């Protein structure tokens, strides 16, 4: 039986384009092995008029290069998803329209509020009446150390320049591009942290009173 070339159906195989070409040459009486292009056009040239063509293997990749390869900036289904990007860009560090002090204030309040718990409930004085107060002092001490670390980072030479990535949409607030902005952020962080720790201490110290009010 004569061995005939049969074209493959659309979408059956990514190489169907070349099969159809060979099939047409066969029916034109040409020798496909002599006329076939051994160096077909690159994907960028073949699909330049159809950027979303599913036959383009670049559209079948799950992870893409989003920026500089040297910074390992890759776009994955997680860090480039709309949900994750909306969450990250709504955090105080990246939310638009905030001053450096306001950013530090919000971040500090969250840290101060939650840090007192481990110190009060897991510290060496956890079984004494001074547990909550010891947790407060420990939290304030850690906040001061963190503020000093931020100040040292802000005054490093050269000034710190945050690396942007695909998740933040290349959005770097001006507060994080100069030592002045970082120092202002550090001041807000300390004040917010002490305020958050003080609020948490007040709630822990009066938790029994709140329980009586609720159970009335």
Task: Classify residue 193 as exposed, middle or buried by CB count within 10 Å of its CB (0-12, 13-18, 19+).
Answer: buried
Q: Look up residue 61 and give its two tokens.
A: 């990749």
Q: Which of 8-22, 75-89, 137-151, 158-172 has the lowest mean pLDDT?
A: 8-22
The mean per-residue pLDDT over the stretch 67-76 comes to 70
Residues 6+ positions from 205 with CB-CB distance below 8 Å = 132
* Residue labelled with tokens 């690159």: 42
As beta bridge partners, residue 75 has: 64
More confident: 144 or 211: 144
Q: Is the pLDDT reported for residue 55 higher than 90? A: no
**pTM score, whole prediction:** 0.65
Residues 90-118: pLDDT tens digits? Answer: 889 888 888 999 999 999 999 999 999 99
Q: Is the pLDDT reported for residue 149 higher than 80? A: yes
Residues 165-206: pLDDT tens digits? Answer: 778 876 778 778 888 889 999 999 999 999 999 999 999 988
CB contact at 8 A, 85 and 75: no
CB contact at 8 A, 5 and 26: yes
Alpha-carbon distance of 13 to 84, in angstroms, equals 35
pLDDT at 16: 45
For residue 155, what are the CA distances in angstroms to 107, 148, 172, 181, 183? 20, 11, 19, 11, 8
Each domain of the chain, given as residue ranges in start order, spans 98-215
Instruction: Find the angle CA(144)-CA(199)-CA(94) to the nearest 5 degrees.
Output: 65
Q: Is the pLDDT reported for residue 135 higher than 60? A: yes
| Backbone φ and ψ of 186, nearest 5° | -65, -40
Q: Which of 22-31, 116-125, 130-139 has the lowest mean pLDDT?
A: 22-31
Cite the beta strand spans of 79-207 per DSSP E.
none
The hierarchical CATH code for the domain 98-215 is 1.20.1240.10
What is the rounded average pLDDT for all residues in the chain?
77
What is the dihedral sign for C-alpha 115, 116, 117, 123? positive
Q: Is the pLDDT reported for residue 7 higher than 50? A: no
Q: Look up residue 207 and give its two tokens.
A: 């938790």
Give percent above pLDDT 90 in the chain: 32
CB contact at 8 A, 110 and 143: no
Alpha-carbon distance of 140 to 189, in angstroms, equals 11
Residues 6+ positions from 78 with CB-CB distance below 8 Å = 84
């Amino acid at each position: 039986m004569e061995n005939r070339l049969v074209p493959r159906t659309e979408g059956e195989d990514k190489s169907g384009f070349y099969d159809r070409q060979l099939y047409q040459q066969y029916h034109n009486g040409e020798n496909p092995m002599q006329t076939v292009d051994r160096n077909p056009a690159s994907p960028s040239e073949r699909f330049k008029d159809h950027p979303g063509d599913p036959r383009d293997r670049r559209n079948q990749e799950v992870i893409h290069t989003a920026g500089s390869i040297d910074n390992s900036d890759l776009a994955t289904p997680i860090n480039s998803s709309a949900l994750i990007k909306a969450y990250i860009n709504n955090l105080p560090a990246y939310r638009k329209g905030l001053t450096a002090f306001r950013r530090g204030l919000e971040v500090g309040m969250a840290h101060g509020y939650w840090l007192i718990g481990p110190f009060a409930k897991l510290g060496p004085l956890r079984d004494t009446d001074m547990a909550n107060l010891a947790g407060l002092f420990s939290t304030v001490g850690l906040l001061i150390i963190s503020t000093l670390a931020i100040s040292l980072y802000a005054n490093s030479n050269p000034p710190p320049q945050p690396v942007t990535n695909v998740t933040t949409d290349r959005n770097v607030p001006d507060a994080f591009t100069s030592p002045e902005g970082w120092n202002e952020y550090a001041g807000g962080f300390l004040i917010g942290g002490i305020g958050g720790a003080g609020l948490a201490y007040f709630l822990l110290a009066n938790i029994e009173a709140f329980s009586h009010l609720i159970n009335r």
